[in-house]
Chains A and B, each alone.
Chain A
Amino acid sequence: MYAGAVPFWYCALQRVKRLLHTRLVPLLSVFAAFSFVIMMFNLPLPGGTTGHAVGMGLTTVVLGPWASMLAISVALLIQALFFGDGGVTAYGANCFNMAIIGSLVAYAVYRVIAGRAPLTHSRRVIAAALAGYAAINVAALCAAIEFGLQPVFFKDATGAPLYAPYPLHIAIPAMLIGHLTFAGLAELIISGGVVAYLQRTDPSLLKATAPGARDVDATQEITQSGWQVTRPLWVGVALLMLLSPLGLLAAGSAWGEWAPADFKNPQARLAIARASGNSAPPTQAPQGVEKLSSIWTAPMPDYAPKFLKSEKLGYMLSAMFGTGLILMAFMVIAAIVQVLDGKRQTDELVAANGNGAS
């Protein structure tokens, strides 16, 4: 999980450094301390229970996703190391789920729902509340998937799971029930409540993540890049990437993805028949399939290159390779959109200036 988190940290550090330069150190330190302290707050929840919030919705709304992921990572490290909550070995996963995924999801949800509403609009309160709620739940889902995959990969000689013992179908509901109700509510109350409070006292603090807010002047809108517009898509891709190993757990092969040899194997025939509404498959592989299969040998047969003996590793690598290709495609599209967008906006600006001049 450390390997997953490091590129995000690096990227975040570079972005935040460029933006803040010498302000980086004091701002991040104080904000990390702030996130740490609010994790201690005991929030009263409806129904007489209490809960703690991580505050990722709130820090994201005030600082933006990149600075937020750094601040929360630092707060989590001090919590793990110094106060012994959450082990050192789980730190990478914790950061990945809560600081990184949490901040990105919170930002996407907040931006999408808040839209261009003015800074003091009630829509921003709802957006922040839902951002906090969505962030903690997606983080919990990621954690559940990580837990759920562990018994598949790590077992001792007797078949006893070495790490987390629960398969996905138990881990996901167990994690999500708690988070969809209590933990999610704490996050929802804190994010929404504090944004509402800031709107009354100091709305300028909400400016950083509201570049399109209606009371901001037009020049700032133009600087908004295509990246920000497409960010929800990126988050979606990242999520899919995380979910891709799930395919490993589905029993049997996907419908329609049969190998020619499966048609001759009686067991495989039975499986195909069951999957196809009990209609018996032909005894021979369809000629087309047979012919094609001899011509077309995929560069990654059965999703696993030959030099990779472990099927699981191959599957994971193939998933990453596939998503990498998709990401590249996205990047190309995003670049094209940005160029076109920029051109259109300059055209409009020129037109507007021209009108003003005449």
Chain B
Amino acid sequence: MAGGVAIKRKRRKSFVEHTLAGLAATTAHALQAEEITKADGLLQHLDPRVKVVGLLALIITAALAHSLWIILTLFVIALTLALLSQVSIRTLARREWIGVLVFTGCIALPAIFITPGHVIYRLPLLHWPITEQGVRSALYLITRVETAATFSVLLILCTPWTHVLKALRVLHVPVVFVVILGMTYRYIFLLLQTAHDMFESRQSRLIGKLEDREQRRLAAASVGVLLSKSLQLSNEVYLAMQSRGFQGEVYTLDEFMMQPRDWIALFSFLVVAGLGFWWGR
């Protein structure tokens, strides 16, 4: 009987399994993004520089707006852009909205009761006051974050990462940073794979459950191994770069070309951002 009860109870996943799942999910997340960048949509066809500048302008407008209506309008614009770019609402919700809502919601919820101001409702039984200012403040926080997050995820979903990086040069991000970002992105996948393999091999040799103390030792040892592997890798990459004539100077090939539709898009982005900024002061 006791055994039956024990079997029925859901086994708590070990940290190795949790980490394995997390690592795999991250890789899947990135692969999905890569697939959407190849779709035939509005944003995918625009010059990456236009997208970086235009969407950043809209994000800043959403961040600075002092009016809920302006933020909501920007959110609707983001939704329209998503639909025109073949990014489904479901993808947006799964990638961004739900996570942001849970996280920001947790932060915003107590504000409804705590913020001093005009009381509009009292919770039955608990008698907690809900203030108008509290509700407004929570709405500001959530809509602002959701809108900005939607714009930034649209940029990433509709532009290959290498193009985003190249386009960052328009914002005068130093070229060495751009190169580091590009290489980091590449090595993230290598190290994700390495970590995944390490945990998988460990998991396959594991019977029963590790004690918490042992788990922590295992976690620290895995990080340590990954650290030495990373250092070794960076040495090898360095030697490989040096043998190909790397002298510390970085050159990039810039082959972006602005088409008439890019100029129209840039103009529209900036006009919307400007109007939003003006009305939302």
A87-B148, A196-B220 known; A30 and B187 CB under 8 Å?
A: yes
Residues of A240-299 at the interface with B, using a CB-CB cut-off of 8 Å, are none
Residues of A68-119 at the interface with B, using a CB-CB cut-off of 8 Å, are 70, 74-75, 77-78, 80-85, 87-89
Could you say which of A42, A88, A162 contacts B59, with CB atoms under 8 Å apart?
A: A88
Could you say which of B110, B220, B233, B234 contacts A190, with CB atoms under 8 Å apart?
A: B220
A181 nearest CB across to chain B (Å): 16
Query: Which one of B43-51, B79-87, B176-184 contacts A?
Result: B176-184
List residues of chain A with CB within 8 A of the CB of B192.
37, 40
Query: For residue A80, which residue of chain B has the nearest CB?
Result: B152
Residues of A119-169 at the interface with B, using a CB-CB cut-off of 8 Å, are 151, 156, 158-166
Binary interface encoding of chain A residues 13-47 relative to chain B, with 1 for a CB under 8 A from any of its CBs, else 0? 10000000111111111111110111011111010
Q: Does A215 contact B (CB under 8 A)?
A: no
Bound Cα distance A21, B238 (Å):
11
- The answer to whether A84 and B227 touch across the interface, beta carbons within 8 angstroms, is no
List residues of chain A with CB within 8 A of the CB of B191.
30, 33-34, 36-37
- The answer to whether B188 and A205 touch across the interface, beta carbons within 8 angstroms, is no
Bound Cα distance A200, B114 (Å):
51
- The answer to whether A77 and B223 touch across the interface, beta carbons within 8 angstroms, is no
Q: Does A50 contact B (CB under 8 A)?
A: yes
Bound Cα distance A36, B15 (Å):
18
Binary interface encoding of chain B residues 60-90 relative to chain A, with 1 for a CB under 8 A from any of its CBs, else 0? 1001001100000000000000000000000
Q: Does B255 contact A (CB under 8 A)?
A: no
Query: For residue B239, which residue of chain A has the nearest CB?
Result: A26
- The answer to whether A160 and B187 touch across the interface, beta carbons within 8 angstroms, is no
A157 nearest CB across to chain B (Å): 8
Bound Cα distance A275, B161 (Å):
60
Bound Cα distance A351, B161 (Å):
61
- The answer to whether B238 and A83 touch across the interface, beta carbons within 8 angstroms, is no
Bound Cα distance A29, B176 (Å):
11
Query: Which one of B1-9, B122-130, B136-144, B262-270 contacts A?
Result: B136-144
Binary interface encoding of chain A residues 182-200 relative to chain B, with 1 for a CB under 8 A from any of its CBs, else 0? 0000000110111011100
Could you say which of B96, B138, B155, B234 contacts A165, with CB atoms under 8 Å apart?
A: B138
A219 nearest CB across to chain B (Å): 25
A71 nearest CB across to chain B (Å): 9
Q: Which of A34, A158, A196, A201 has the most CB of B within 10 A?
A: A34
List residues of chain A with CB within 8 A of the CB of B222.
41
Could you say which of A29, A46, A158 contacts B183, with CB atoms under 8 Å apart?
A: A29
- The answer to whether A197 and B164 touch across the interface, beta carbons within 8 angstroms, is no
A88-B59, A165-B114, A205-B227 known; A75 and B216 CB under 8 Å?
A: no
Q: Does A56 contact B (CB under 8 A)?
A: no
Binary interface encoding of chain B residues 179-213 relative to chain A, with 1 for a CB under 8 A from any of its CBs, else 0? 11101111110111001000000000000000010
- The answer to whether B212 and A170 touch across the interface, beta carbons within 8 angstroms, is no
A25-B176, A160-B117, A160-B132 known; A30 and B148 CB under 8 Å?
A: no
Q: Which of A13, A160, A192 has the most CB of B within 10 A?
A: A160
B31 nearest CB across to chain A (Å): 12
- The answer to whether A29 and B132 touch across the interface, beta carbons within 8 angstroms, is no
Bound Cα distance A42, B216 (Å):
10
List residues of chain A with CB within 8 A of the CB of B227.
34, 58, 62, 194, 198, 205
Could you say which of A75, A81, A158, A189 contacts B219, with CB atoms under 8 Å apart?
A: A189
Could you say which of A13, A27, A160, A192 contacts B140, with CB atoms under 8 Å apart?
A: A160
Bound Cα distance A82, B62 (Å):
20
Bound Cα distance A26, B250 (Å):
12
Bound Cα distance A323, B99 (Å):
40
- The answer to whether A82 and B185 touch across the interface, beta carbons within 8 angstroms, is yes
A74-B181, A159-B133, A165-B141 known; A33 and B216 CB under 8 Å?
A: no
List residues of chain B with CB within 8 A of the CB of A159.
117, 133
A46-B212, A158-B136, A159-B117 known; A37 and B188 CB under 8 Å?
A: yes
- The answer to whether B188 and A33 touch across the interface, beta carbons within 8 angstroms, is yes
- The answer to whether A22 and B238 touch across the interface, beta carbons within 8 angstroms, is yes
Q: Does A202 contact B (CB under 8 A)?
A: yes
Q: What are 27 contact pairs spanning A and B, CB under 8 A?
A: A22-B242, A24-B248, A25-B183, A25-B246, A29-B180, A29-B234, A31-B230, A32-B180, A33-B185, A33-B186, A34-B191, A34-B227, A37-B23, A41-B222, A42-B18, A80-B152, A81-B152, A84-B99, A87-B148, A89-B63, A151-B137, A158-B136, A160-B133, A161-B137, A161-B140, A165-B138, A170-B114
> What 20 new A-B contacts, CB under 8 Å, besides A33-B188, A197-B223?
A26-B241, A30-B183, A34-B230, A37-B195, A40-B26, A41-B195, A42-B22, A44-B219, A80-B152, A81-B164, A82-B185, A88-B148, A156-B66, A158-B118, A160-B117, A165-B114, A166-B110, A192-B220, A194-B224, A205-B227
Q: What 4 A-B pairs are tightest by C-beta distance, nearest first?
A: A193-B220, A29-B183, A197-B224, A33-B187
Mark A residues whose CB is within 8 Å of B.
Answer: 13, 21-34, 36-38, 40-44, 46, 48, 50, 55, 58, 62, 70, 74-75, 77-78, 80-85, 87-89, 151, 156, 158-166, 170, 189-190, 192-194, 196-198, 201-202, 205
